[in-house]
């Protein structure tokens, strides 16, 4: 029996799950990357009491933040409150979220020996707080709202491990892959095994779909993506539990879309640097997620509505569109604009059931 057939009908037939399978929906489902975050007053109040890592590691609080965002916004899916970098701790990396500099890895990878020291992760044990948060969230969410689990894709995680934090040019990452290709591939293979196992553990704990975040992969040339990344992203995706849709997301990927499609995924996430209709025309029979520029949400309400209309026009009623931003919500975004966006998407996309 597949995973899907065991899901309650309310979840199985939800607009988001239907769109992941490219089935028709009565309106276009919408959720937003970073829908729970600093732009929300309730989140800032929570963060005044606990650090970001503590929040991620306290299942009751992570579940509260996840569900709170869904209820305030009226979105069609929840995403578990966590971070792509959490898996790096049990792998052996020293992770810190600093207030000023963003994420820091205090023991960045330099040599083959550094990579050999890294651990396989037993997610049920080392990331049990994520699984508990998923179970608590699933129990608290409305029965028709799917919960999305997620993991960082091998390239994006490797870049943090090698650079020691965020980067602009990815010089050290590229130097690593060009000068120590065998070590690079060993690192990527380990990240792929860990990510697949982590995603499947999240699905078993109660996530109905999973998103693979390859946020920074757009910094690579197509040839380098094919050689150094594609086999490993594909390995993650082919190893996921059948029946659990995979959303495969990246930014700056205009030159890589066909290759990302080749790597796999039921839905390909695109950012705002590509036209949605152009992306879909190139990708063919696959779902598309995106792709409003998050900066539009700091503009005025009628303008937001106009931009929603434009994206829906490009999607042209095709089955398999999941409305989202091209990247995460910006911290200065007014919550009322996000709520209005969700309403606009629902209202402007409503169609008769066929």
Q: Which stretch binds ligand CP3 (CB under 6 A): 29-37, 167-175, 302-310, 342-350?
A: 29-37
Dist CA 74 CA 112 (whole Å) = 48
Residue 110 is among the residues annotated as catalytic for this protein = no
Q: Check residue 36 for interaction with ligand CP3 (CB under 6 A).
A: yes
* Beta carbon nearer to ligand CP3, 183 or 237: 237
Candidate list 47, 193, 234, 339, residue with the active-site label: 47
Q: Residue 131 corresponds to which tokens in the numbers above?
A: 């699984």
Range 245-304, binding ligand CP3 (CB under 6 A):
none
Q: Among 126, 215, 233, 324, which residue sits at the site for ligand CP3 (rule: CB under 6 A)?
A: 215
Q: In angstroms, give the least distance from the CB of 37 to ligand CP3.
A: 4
* Beta carbon nearer to ligand CP3, 22 or 164: 164
b/e 155-180 (16+ beta carbons within 10 angstroms → b)? bbbbbbbbbbbeeeebebbbebbeeb
Bridge partner list, 290: 323
Contact code string over 73-92 relative to ligand CP3, x by CB under 6 A? ------x-xxxxx-------
Q: Where do runs of H (alpha helix) occur along the chain?
A: 3-6, 9-12, 15-20, 41-49, 52-57, 59-73, 88-91, 112-116, 123-126, 128-140, 154-163, 171-179, 181-205, 222-224, 230-238, 257-263, 276-283, 301-315, 335-349
Number of chain positions touching ligand CP3 (CB under 6 A) = 22
Q: In angstroms, give the least distance from the CB of 269 to ligand CP3.
A: 10
Q: In angstroms, give the least distance from the CB of 256 to ligand CP3.
A: 15
* Beta carbon nearer to ligand CP3, 38 or 72: 38
Per the CB < 8 A criterion, the answer to whether 257 and 283 are in contact is yes
Residue 160 is among the residues annotated as catalytic for this protein = yes
The angle formed by the CA atoms of residues 170, 53 and 250, to the nearest 5 degrees, is: 35
Q: Which stretch binds ligand CP3 (CB under 6 A): 34-42, 128-136, 175-183, 230-238?
A: 34-42
Q: In angstroms, give the least distance from the CB of 51 to ligand CP3.
A: 8
Phi/psi of residue 247, nearest 5 degrees: -100, 125
* Beta carbon nearer to ligand CP3, 15 or 269: 269
The helix (H) or strand (E) run that includes residue 95 is: strand 95-98
Provide the annotated active-site residues: 34, 38, 47, 83, 160
């Amino acid at each position: 029996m597949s995973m899907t057939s065991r899901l309650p009908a309310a979840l199985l037939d939800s607009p988001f799950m239907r769109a992941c399978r490219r089935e028709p929906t009565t309106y276009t489902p919408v959720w937003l990357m970073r829908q729970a975050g600093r732009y929300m007053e309730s989140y800032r109040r929570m963060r005044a009491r606990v650090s970001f890592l503590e929040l991620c590691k306290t299942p009751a609080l992570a579940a509260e933040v996840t569900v709170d965002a869904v209820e305030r916004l009226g979105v069609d899916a929840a995403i578990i409150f966590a971070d792509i970098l959490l898996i790096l701790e049990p792998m052996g990396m020293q992770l810190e979220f600093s207030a000023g500099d963003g994420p820091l890895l205090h023991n960045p990878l330099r040599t083959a020996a550094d990579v050999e020291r890294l651990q396989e992760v037993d997610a049920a044990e080392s990331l049990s707080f994520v699984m508990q948060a998923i179970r608590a969230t699933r129990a608290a969410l409305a029965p028709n709202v799917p919960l999305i689990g997620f993991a960082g894709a091998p390239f994006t995680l490797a870049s943090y491990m090698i650079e020691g934090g965020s980067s602009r040019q990815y010089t050290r990452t590229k130097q690593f892959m060009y000068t120590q290709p065998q070590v690079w591939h060993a690192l990527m293979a380990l990240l792929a095994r860990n990510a697949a196992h982590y995603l499947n553990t999240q699905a078993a704990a109660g996530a109905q779909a999973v998103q693979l975040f390859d946020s920074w992969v757009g910094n690579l040339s197509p040839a380098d993506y094919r050689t150094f990344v594609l086999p490993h992203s594909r390995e993650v995706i082919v190893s996921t539990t059948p029946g659990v849709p995979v959303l495969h997301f990246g930014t700056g990927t205009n030159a890589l879309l066909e290759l990302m499609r080749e790597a796999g995924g039921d839905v390909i996430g695109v950012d705002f640097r590509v036209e949605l209709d152009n992306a879909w025309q190139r990708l063919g029979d696959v779902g598309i997620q995106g792709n409003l520029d998050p900066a539009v949400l700091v503009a005025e309400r009628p303008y937001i509505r106009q931009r929603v209309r434009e994206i829906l026009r490009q999607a042209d009623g095709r089955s398999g569109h999941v409305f989202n931003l091209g990247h995460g919500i910006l911290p200065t975004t007014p919550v009322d604009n996000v709520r209005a966006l969700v309403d606009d998407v629902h209202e402007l996309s409503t169609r008769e059931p066929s």
